[in-house]
Every structure is written in structure tokens, then in C-alpha cells.
Amino acid sequence: MKRNCSDTIIIIGAGISGLAAGCYAQMNGYRSQIFEMHDRPGGLCTAWRRQGFIVDGCIHYLFGSGRGQPFYRLWEELGVVPQQQFVHHDELLRVSEPHGKTLIVYSHPDRLEQHLKELSPVVGVASLRRQTFHERNEDRRLISEFCAGIRKFTHFDLSLLQQQPKALMSLGDWGRLVGKMLPFVCPMSRWGNLSAAEFADRFQDPFLRRAIPQMFGWESIPVMVGMSLLAYMHTKNAGFPLGGSLQFAQTIADRYLALGGEIHYESQVEKILIEKHRANGVRLYDNEEYFADRIISACDGHNTLFGLLDRQYVPREMQRYYDGHLPIHSQLQVSLGVNRDLSSKPHWTTHLLNEPVVIAGEERYEIGVKHYCFDPSLAPPGKSVLVVMLTTNYEYWQRIYGRSSYDAEELQESQILIDLLDNFYPGIKTDIEFVDVATPLSYERYTGNWKGSTCGWLLTKQTLPLSIKGLPKTLPKLRDFYAIGQWVEPGGSVPVVAMSGRNIIQQICREDKQPFRTITP
């Protein structure tokens, strides 16, 4: 398709949303270029090499890994599948108490239901008080309803919510969407308004009350989201891409370059240039200026609104999203390269502790540990990468950043965690070849994300409605400016932010009265 050579687009940020926007811009005849502050693509979808090991920093599972399943077409268009190989797990993770009782979060709903009921069995009526018998039956009822929900969500197409830009949807489009969503309205309403922690409170079994909040990775996750994850794992549509997150991102970057796009690495944007209330260019920190017909911000939302743009263009309602009332996810990641093959161990286990341990000023009653032996490309033969990821307080690390106490704190917290790991994997301390610590300040420094957030707004029942409708992608007083990515798609996730990039080009094509087209390699 031929277009006027003035149809140019500048994209700020070579994360997944920026790369996707660039790919679809090129497919539709626009001339685009991406400016990236780092020396590599991917943004938060990244990994780093240490002494022959690769530490993965992002993907735990990728929706769209199954042919014919939701989001698969997206990855086809971006050149990821069918070449990409995936590992599909039969279990998400395990939650284990010190004395050995373990919840295994199977992806198969029948197997999970049987296992959960074994953990909270009904025993002989003669040995029970009437109330206790009722309580045990209540646990089993909850388990049955929960697993029935997972089965229901195996038929739910999550990509329906992102397949078309909301700003372009007509009444007919909304009607068709509602019609497709109608069979899931009741389960979405029920399980979307219930967090994992709240669900656990309904159980009587003491172990399940403690384990269920951890079964999806964090306590505040809506149960519906966890159900959808297990449903997609069951249908083989939530695999881990072999090679890790950075290689995955590089594949999309290569696709973009093959389509004729251009990436400027180590080129941090200082300001979005504006003339007559129209965004028309960017200025870099080296004072070079570049101009285009449209500007798309695919970088940190806070810096975009309060740094790259003049505040006069940011409506008060947009400013309120950043006043602290919405939850974000800042994390501490301690990664170890160990001279031991852990492939016979469960790949992801949350260990419940009898006594709390203080990490970064907070008491922790559980420690999640993950190894990546299911992907042999991430470690030398016979060796393993072990990773501990914990939510942490950004302000705690920010107060000591730049002082010697910051490095000392990193060392201290890693040693505390290593001592704990030695209980879970006896003798592991002597097998450690390297220790790598990433705090929220590390994420902020390397990706520019506000408070080191790893997923924009954390997906909770509070932010789930925002996730469904999305935040505004344009500003009312500024023309030719667009925002995409995790800060306007609460909850983030790799496929959702990629769809964000796709949708914005759909919107631009509509504005230009041009058909939107896609090309598969």
C-alpha cells in the first residue's frame, strides 16, 4: 500500500507494545522509527547474562502459545509463532508448609479438584461434631465450584477484550461483544470481585486457608484471573517460550526491522515536542530533535505525562491515576547460578514459613522460589538458575539508594534468602557460582518505569474494571499523540500490551480512512 511519505510515526520505547506498534505501522505503509533508552529491545520483557547463565526477568507463561487459541494470531503476525518452541507445564506451582503438606496447583481441573478434596477430606460422621462435618462439606463445595469455573473459562476468549480499540467500537460492535461475553457474565462477576485471599478466608481447613492465597503468585489477584490462567494452561495456551524473555523480544524486534522499521538504541527521549497543540517530534538528551506526523509513547506512563509532556495537556482525571491510590508491583529479585541440576525438583514452589523472616524491612511468611531447568538454554549443562521474587516497598530502597548502605542491604537480604534456600535445597550454599540482586531501583534505572513497577498497575479486583475498559490512549487538548502499553492497559501482561500496540495502529488507520491490514511472514 502506498502512502504519502509524510505519514511518519515516532515511537518512544522498544518494549513489547512499542515493537508491536512499529510492526503494524510498517505493515500499513507508515514510516516509523523507535527510540529506546537501553541498548537492547524488550523493556521489561528482558533477561540478562551472568557467568554463562541467563537470568529471565519477565515471562512465566505466555497466552497465545497454542495454535488456534486466543492471542495465537497476534504472535503469528509478529513473527513469533510457529517457529517459537514452548514448554507447557502440568502444574503452575506448589505451596508447601514446613512439615511437608503441599498444595499442587495442577492445570487440569479434574486433577486439581481431586487433589484439593484430598487435602480437605470428609472423615467419618461419628468422629465429627455436626458443625465440623458441615464445614468440611463447605470446603468441598467451594472446591467443586472453583474447578467448575476453571472448566468454564477454558472456553473463554480473553483476547475478545483487546481485539478492537474501544474508541472505535460502534453500538453494534459493543452488542456483538456483549453477546460473546454473555455466557461468562455470571462467573466473571462472581470470581472477578473476589481476591485469592478473600476466597481462602471461606475455607475451614487451616492449610488451605494459608495456601490458597499463594496459589497464583499473589494474594490480591482476582480469582477469575487465576482461573483463566489455569484454563489456558490446561488447553496448552500458556507456555513458556524456550530461550527466555529477551530472545522472545528480540524475535519481534527482528520482525520490525525486516518490515523496514528503524530502532535507535541508547537514545533516551527528554521531551515530546509540541507545536500549536500538536505533538510533532521528540528531543533526545543529547539535544538532537526528530520530527514526525504522530508520536506514540510506549514507555513509562508517569514520565510520559509529567516529564515528556507539559502538564497543561494532562487532564486532572489522568493525573489522579498516579496519586498513589492504585496498586503497583515493585519487586526484589535475587537470582543465583548454582552448580547443581534441579530438574527433578518442582519448578516453582512457595514455601510457607513457621516463623516470619524480615526482608527489606517487612515480615515475610512465605518465600517463592523458581528454577528454570525446564529450559536448558538458560544454564550450562548440569547447572541451574534459581530465582526468588518478592514484592517490596519502593520507598525503602529509594531512601538508601546511592549510599553504601544500599549495596550492604542488597548483600544482607540475599544472604538471608540464601540461608533459607539451604533449608529447602540442603547444601545449596556451597554450589552457588554467582548472586545477582535486582531491586525496584534496578528496574527503574534500566527501564525507566515509575517506582520500578514490573507490570504497570497491579491486577487486582480494584484495577480489573480498568483493565477491561482500558485508560485513555489520547489527550483531549493534544493532537497526534497516543499512549500504549501497560500504563494504559492496567494489569499489563505481554499479549495485552502487544495488542495495545496493534490497536493504536488500527485507530490511526481509521483516522486516515485507510483499511487496517496485517501480514504474516
DSSP secondary structure letters along 236-301? T-EEEETTHHHHHHHHHHHHHHHTT-EEESS--EEEEEESSSBEEEEEETTS-EEE-SEEEE-S-H
End-to-end CA distance of the chain, in Å? 17
pLDDT single digits (tens) 443-485:
999 999 999 998 888 888 888 888 777 788 999 999 999 999 9
Element (H, E) at 199: helix 196-200
DSSP 8-state assignment for residue 308: I
131: buried, middle or exposed (CB in 10 Å: 19+, 13-18, 0-12)?
exposed
Q: Is residue 353 scored above 90 in pLDDT?
A: yes
CA–CA separation, 17 and 36 (whole Å): 12
pTM for the whole thing?
0.93
Nine-digit cell string for 308? 515528556
In the chain, what are the domains? 8-45+244-325+459-511 (3.50.50.60), 108-234 (no CATH), 328-447 (3.90.660)
* Cβ atoms < 10 Å from Cβ of 243: 18
Averaged pLDDT score across all residues of the chain: 90
Cell match 527489606: residue?
360
Residue type at position 196: A
Name which residue leads in pLDDT, 67 or 162: 67
Q: What's the pLDDT score for residue 162?
A: 63
Q: What's the pLDDT score for residue 128?
A: 47
CA–CA separation, 173 and 146 (whole Å): 31
pLDDT single digits (tens) 123-147:
444 444 544 545 568 899 999 999 9
Q: Reply yes or no: is the peptide bond before residue 187 cis, omega within 30 of 0.
A: no
Cβ neighbours of residue 55 closer than 8 Å, sequence gap 6 or more? 47, 48, 49, 335, 378, 385, 387, 436
Angle between helices 130-153 and 223-234 (to 10 degrees): 60
Cell match 504519502: residue?
4
Q: In 269-293, which positions are buried (b, 16+ CB within 10 angstroms) versus exposed (e)?
A: beebbbeeeebbbbebeeeeebebb
Q: What's the pLDDT score for residue 165?
A: 73
4 falls in which pLDDT band (50, 70, 90)?
very low
161 falls in which pLDDT band (50, 70, 90)?
low
Phi, psi of 183 (to 5 degrees): -65, -15
Q: Is residue 205 scored above 50 in pLDDT?
A: yes
Query: What does each C-alpha distance from 360 to 410, 418, 424, 445, 507 come to in angstroms?
Result: 9, 15, 21, 19, 44
Q: Hey, is 128 helix, strand or coil?
A: coil
